[in-house]
Structure 1
Amino acid sequence: MTEAVAGCAAVLRGAAEQDWGAVKAGRLEWDCRATAFHIAEDLIAYAANLAGRAQDAYVPFEITLDEGADNAALVHVIESTGALLAAAVRTAPPGVRAFHPYPFRSADREGFAAMGVAEVLLHTHDVAEGLGVAYAPSEELAEAVLGLLFPHVQPGPAPWPTLLWATGRGELPGRTPVTEWRWSNNLVLPAERLTLTGVRPAAARDLRLGGDGGFTWIEGGPYEGTREAAGFLVKAYEAGVHRPEFGVFTLVRHEDGRAIGGIGFHGVPDEERRVEIGYDLVEGARGQGYATEAVRTLTRWALARDDVDTVIATVESANLPSQHVLGRAGFTRATVEEERTAHEEHGADSGLQLYYRRA
């Protein structure tokens, strides 16, 4: 946040003598002064929502500029509101979420930081384009925004041109111009003793490479199944087919904020509106009902969607604990005929037992 705001201030302060109200900001309908003020509005709104733990709507207030405030003063307002958001992010505990409408009605501290940086980068670009001055942020900042807020967008040859393309501000060779867009904060699903926390591509990459993905794990975690699932998520992201709502979730225990396992989907729903789930727990968290709680929560969420009619899971015949988990979560063992069809038509492993739960 600090780097993004400093870059914005340097560019805008260098053009402070121009008439910002006389020209439009890039491709926007707003003029450059209104766009610059919008940066400050967003930064203070995000800071207020995160610091105030807003849950259902934005904190109901607005900021105004003093009459006669010039462009240099407006840059100072951007710097000040950016500092407030940076402080709110820095002091927010891990896992705290506050209201933001897109797309799952909440964001964590990383999400608010990324949204603030995105507002600064993109609208500084708009203003700079309108005023005819050069601006290009670091590729590291653009890459961070893409990974945190655009997990559904395939990485391009360079992060900054990709971010401009993804937000309708530029073109990329071989890709259709973007006319409508939304960013995507990660999905979290609360359960009784757990939170299912959606794993972002950067966290998945770290997990795949042996890291902790930004989570504090109990001893022995993360388990190998979680790392393998994270690797599949990274491949889907790099191929441009990742849908974050059908990705991987880390199971975070409420009592101590520690991660105890993973759960997620093997892909998006197929043409028969079926989606498959998989899960694992660190050994120290097994036998306490956590897996059952997580499976129930994820299955309930999936079956409430319009594009899912059936949730399936496959289990090794010798894995009795996992079979018991599925039974307690409301799954039914498939018939011999249903398993045969799954093996022949859907490529399921013939050595696995099939369980399902329907809407």
Structure 2
Amino acid sequence: MGSTGALEVEEAVASCLALLSTATERDWDGVRAGRLEWSCRRTAEHIASDLISYAGQLAGRAQHAYLPFDIALDDGTDNSGVLEVIGATGALLSATVRTTPREVRAFHPLPFRSANREGFAAMGTAEVLVHTHDIAEGLGLTYQPARELAEFVLTRIFPHIRPGADPWRTLLWATGRGNLPGRAPVTGWRWHNNLVLPTERLTLEGVHPAAAADLVNGGDGGFEWIPGGPFQGTREAATFMTKAYQAGLHRPEFGVFALVRQEDGRAIGGMGFHSVPDEEGRTEVGYDLVEGARGQGYATEALRALTGWALARDDVHTVLATVEHDNLASQAVVSRVGFKQAGEDDEGLIYELGG
């Protein structure tokens, strides 16, 4: 995949400055920013505040709350000065994203209490894009950022949103700022950073739609794999997830997870759900490991963590697993986790684990 998100932050900030620099002589204090209650000036200051906050969270490796600091502009700062601050704080976030290791996560409340560098880059890019739109709407300007920027945001932190033909219009709709044919107006929204589940030796990292698409196309999904990875089963799971995302049926916490070794940050396999829970609270899990990681207890460790997380939820009552008739190793894995054989079909033995 290649991108950490640093370039997208830079391009979003550049698009913001290019447009708003044409209107610095206007009255930003006396004009509301689009549908917001804030003025255009307050909204511009908010952009800078978010950018420096995200940079601080990531650089400081904050784990439990927002770092206790804020940004304040000097009295008398004019509109051009505000834009200079946006440029500087954007550069700080971009530099932080570039220099932060992939596995590092820092506190953010929505929705799973943390985000990695890509998540913070996507959140920063989203803040710049949608609030530049708000200011532009208030000032009567036309703002049309690059298609790729909106797509970057949607595929990283809006995985639950069905993509549309125009990513920018889709992002505006998803954040309550516009309408899309055939879709009800959005009155309440939030973004979704990926879910991460730690175990003793592994980290189960939720795969976002852009990473899944990369896996489908033969890429690495943004992970460094041990030799032989990713295995075919992971690519097939990514294919199913991509289809669910395109249909608007994907829920990120019931998608695909990469199994990453904590000792070296390398991915060794994939695990995930075939679908969201049905009306009876049943969902099915599947997994595979790269050959070099088999026989070391990794699958048992990961499956125990993922099923434990699922069964602790109110909407999951039973986890299923189908194992091929001749796959004795996988049958041993599900048995060690506590699954009981409940039947069989042409595809294999059917195991169940209840809450």
Cα distance in 2 for partners of 1:208, 1:26 equals 39
Which structure 2 residues correspond to residues 139-154 of structure 1 after superposition, within 5 A? 139-154=147-162
Matches within 5 A, 1:203-352: 203-334=211-342, 339=343, 349-352=345-348
Tell me how far apart the structure 2 counterparts of residues 211 and 319 of structure 1 sit (CA, whole Å). Answer: 28
The AA in structure 1 aligned to 2:348 is L
Shift of 1:4: 0.6
CA RMSD of aligned residues (A): 0.8
2:76 to 68, 80, 84: 68
Secondary structure of 1:212's partner? coil
Alignment of 1:86-125 (within 5 A): 86-125=94-133
| Separation in 1, partners of 2:34, 2:291 | 55
Alpha-carbon offset, residue 133 of structure 1:
1.2
Q: Secondary structure at the match of 1:67?
A: coil
SS of match in other structure, 1:107: coil
Can you list the C-alpha shifts for 1:292-328, whole angstroms capped at 9, x where unaligned?
Answer: 0010010010011010011111111211100110111
Q: Which runs of 5+ in 1 are unaligned?
A: 341-348
Between the aligned partners of 1:269 and 1:119, the Cα distance in structure 2 is: 32
* 2:17 partner letter: A
Q: Aligned to 1:277, what secondary structure does the other structure show?
A: strand
Question: Hey, what's the Cα distance between the residues in 2 that align with 1:21 and 1:148?
Answer: 33
- SS across alignment from 1:98: coil
Within the candidate set 19, 23, 42, 1:15 is matched to: 23
CA distance in 1, matches of 2:217, 2:43: 41
Aligned-partner Cα distance in 2 for 1:237–1:121:
23
SS of 2:29's equivalent in the other structure is: helix
User: Cα distance, 1:351 vs. partner?
Assistant: 4.0
> SS at the partner of 1:278?
strand
What secondary structure is seen at the aligned counterpart in 2 of 1:313? strand
* Aligned residue pairs, count: 347
- In the alignment, structure 1 residue 34 sits paired with structure 2 residue 42: yes
Structure 1 distance, partners of 2:155, 2:168, is 12
> For 2:323, what is the secondary structure of its paired residue?
strand
Pairs within 5 Å for 1:116-195 = 116-195=124-203
Deviation at 1:209, TM superposition (A): 1.2
Question: Which residue type is aligned with residue 357 of structure 1?
Answer: L
Residues 64 and 351 of structure 1: CA distance in aligned 2, closer, same or farther (over 3 Å)? closer
Calculate the TM-score normalised by the size of structure 2: 0.96
1:353 counterpart residue number: 349
Under a length normalisation based on structure 1, what TM-score does the superposition of the two structures give? 0.95
Letter in 2 for 1:12: L
Deviation at 1:38?
Answer: 0.3
SS at 2:64 equivalent:
coil
CA contact (8 A) 2:115 2:193 kept: yes
Q: What SS is found at the alignment partner of 1:355? A: strand
Q: Which runs of 4+ in 1 moved over 3 A?
A: none
Establish whether residue 2 from structure 1 lines up as the match of residue 10 from structure 2: yes
Distance 1:65 1:271 in 2: 53
SS at match of 2:333: helix
